[in-house]
Structure 1
Amino acid sequence: MTLKHPFYKTCLLALLIPFSAANAEIIIHGTRAVYPSDAREITLQVTNTGKSPALVQTWIDEGDAKATPDQSKAPFIITPPITRVESEKGQYLRITSLPTANTLSKTQETLFWLNVLDIPPKPSTKDKAAAPDNFLQLAIRSRIKFFYRPSGINEDVALAPEKIQWSSQGNNLLIKNPTPFHITITTISQEHLGKKVNILSEGIMLVPFSEQKIALKNSNIKDMTFTTINDYGGRVERTINQ
């Protein structure tokens, strides 16, 4: 595909896609990252599964998916912020907290988002006369949750889903999270007309000490099951406690 307007040529034609795409060649090792408040730093690995080198830019934002790296006020530094990753090679990224992280809550997690932008190389050809003057370059961004977890929390994060409080209110299911952790629920299954049906149209995330309502198929919540995601990206199914 070629574009003829000179504006696109001078601007590199970089289009930002703010979500993971099926053809992304820079892979993040993990679906989430956790930064314990007493850690000096944590590391995150990315791998280039493509056949060409890629330029990778990383940054952490506070929740605005449209925020650029220079607009972020998240109290973390990633080293290196921009790096070249060779074909079929990996790169470790060091994430360090700034002194301003001390102002974050000491009693519950704080959620940030980690961005990895994959900028592919400019297309080339051995025949310079045949090289395109105008081209479309897609920069694909992956974005994962980044949790800042205070070391003073005495509760076990692995047990947080078991503490969720469930109750039916007419045609709604009330879900309360009484813990200081973020809990991601991917499915909630209920018996309906003799079949087990997932009543979530999409996953939900319960922020610390919050509640949400979703619609029920019927008012009976006995033996309902739900699936959560743990720190390692694994899915764990449990039966709702009554």
Structure 2
Amino acid sequence: MSVMTSFAHAGIALDRTRMIMTGNDRSTSANLTNTSPSVPFLAQSWVENEKGEKITSPLLVLPPLQRINGGQKGIVRVTKTSEADALPKDRESLFYLNVREIPPKPDKPNVLQLAMQSRIKLFYRPASIVPDEKSAIWQNQIVFHKQGSTFTADNPTPYYVTIIGLTRKMEKEGGGKLTDFPGIMLAPKSSQQFKVLDSAINTFAMMYVNDYGGHPELKFSCSGSVCNALPMEQQPK
């Protein structure tokens, strides 16, 4: 009877959880790191559209395949093709960057290898909506409408907004979750409904994901069935 042995290994790691490519950029890049000190890996990279279909236009990854030796770094670059000119000019477009590690052939018999794959959001932001300041906040424009235990989140902005969840208070004040979802992503100029755990709540905090993968919070207050973010001077610093 042969015995199959699982083989745990380090592998290829991305240096970010999301990428932003603007209409002003010819390309944008991310760093790859081989976290194994000695084992070389191949890194296979590609872009998918919003439907999860592999594409080579309007965004293209270079190189599609590269070798990264143990403890070394590599770069994956996303570049535009001419078809990028046909993307919407008034809102972001969503893509996904995929990086799959390919381990070397094992030198021992009966070894099971697992190839890991990273998949992160890749947002194309046309030049017409690039903020003047990198620290700009647009998530405070989200408006919530209450109807019993259902909230409707309206996103009037031209940006994708990822909401991690709502809490009774800011995390540093004790939190207290109001939602069960692991996160929702609102497309530009769209709405989405979800359930809340306390329909009587009139103040709450919203945690979201910013361009850098951070998780800031904003305070909201409700007037009747409509909930808006407090003015920025009343938001936590």
TM-score (norm. length: structure 1): 0.79
Unmatched 5+ residue regions in structure 1?
Answer: 4-21, 125-130
Equivalent positions of 1:204-215 (< 5 A) are: 204-215=184-195
Q: Is the 8 A contact 1:61 1:74 kept in 2?
A: no
Q: Is the 8 A contact 1:190 1:217 kept in 2?
A: no
Equivalent positions of 1:1-242 (< 5 A) are: 2=4, 25-51=11-37, 52-65=39-52, 67=53, 71-124=54-107, 131-132=108-109, 135-153=111-129, 158-190=136-168, 196-241=176-221, 242=228
Q: Please list every run of at least 4 consecutive aligned residues from structure 1 whose deviation after the TM superposition is greater than 4 angstroms.
A: 154-157
Deviations 1:111-157 (A, max 9, x none): 00000001111111xxxxxx42x643322110000000001116568
Q: Name which structure has the greater RCO, CA cutoff 8 Å, separation 6+.
A: 1
Q: Which amino acid aligns with 1:62?
A: N
Root mean square deviation, CA, Å: 2.4
Q: Which amino acid aligns with 1:77?
A: L
Q: Which amino acid aligns with 1:216?
A: V
Deviation (angstroms), 1:196: 2.1
SS at match of 2:24: coil
Q: Is the 8 A contact 2:9 2:36 kept in 1?
A: no
C-alpha distance 111-163 of structure 1, shift in aligned 2 (>3 A): same
C-alpha distance 38-84 of structure 1, shift in aligned 2 (>3 A): same
SS at match of 1:45: strand
Q: Share of identical aligned residues, percent?
A: 36
Q: Write the distance in 2 (CA, Å) between the matches of 1:234 and 1:136.
A: 36
Q: Which amino acid aligns with 1:149?
A: R
Q: Write the distance in 2 (CA, Å) between the matches of 1:86 and 1:200.
A: 42
Q: Write the distance in 1 (CA, Å) between the matches of 2:198 and 2:14.
A: 40
SS at match of 1:152: helix
Unmatched 5+ residue regions in structure 2?
Answer: 222-227, 229-237
Q: Write the distance in 1 (CA, Å) between the matches of 2:137 and 2:69.
A: 40
Q: Is the 8 A contact 2:57 2:80 kept in 1?
A: no
Deviations 1:67-119 (A, max 9, x none): 4xxx4254122221100011111111222100001111000000000000011
Deviation (angstroms), 1:172: 0.7
